[in-house]
Structure 1
Amino acid sequence: MLPIDFKGRNRILHGPRDEQGNPTTDILNLPSFTNGRYCISCWELNDEEKRDLQASKALWIHLCCPINVEMHISMLHPIRGYSIIVETTLLDVLYQDEERSITCWPLTDDEIELVQTTGVIWFTIRSGHTQPPVGFFTRSPFINQ
């Protein structure tokens, strides 16, 4: 999945930079909306990821931080007017070490159908003005594929 720009974006988050402002990692720029409490980003799935999602019926979230934070995955734009219309929640941590944590967001058949149509998911995290580096898996990272 790749982050994409969206209507309502008010910030672009960047990965680590050196003194000259050059990227020091392969972390992509992240178009986002933030209001100081939540950070929202939009992610586009390719055809293979959409097929995998139909089979797995879940999305695994890999945060590059060792903490569990409130989050929400939605298939529709989570901002209406000036309000965020989703409720974030703490998910069970499936794996955690000093550098990362992995959790899982189960999807309903209706949500999977929406992803097949729109090709995107919306990620909302309660993390203030920023978002830890994040990655998504459409297949479980815990079993051999």
Structure 2
Amino acid sequence: HEGMEHLSRGMQQKVALARALLTSPVLLLLDEPTTGLDPRSKLEVQDFIRDVWASHDATILLCTHDLREAEILADRVGILDRGKLLCLEPVDALKERYETETLEEAFFAATGRAFEAEEDEDAERGVFA
């Protein structure tokens, strides 16, 4: 019997999700579940989340900065800005409301800041990618 430290990060995430399901929760909070995973493990964890959602009668609250992942996994997306919930609705409704092609563009429209303004603001704060 080996500890989880010998498992890949992706397998650790799947084991953690499976353990969380042992009690048949009505609410499952997933905080950045695919952060730091290689592309294959990320897809496996996303598939696992979809399978869990389809087979369990539970609400899954996915907290992520990965807007593409939110677009893939969520039936509704909430946009938070500086601690305030700006909207909570289906991805297609958000894109339609803000007349954008992507969730990322809708995020910038909802927060009232263009991508370029974000870069300028980051530079002012000393944040560099």
Q: Establish whether TM, by shorter chain, passes 0.5.
A: no
Quick check: which one's strand share is greater? 1
**Which of structures 1 and 2 has the larger relative contact order (alpha carbons within 8 angstroms, sep 6+)?**
1
Quick check: which one's helix share is greater? 2
Question: Which one has a bigger Cα radius of gyration?
Answer: 2
TM-score when scaled to structure 1?
A: 0.26
TM-score when scaled to structure 2?
A: 0.28
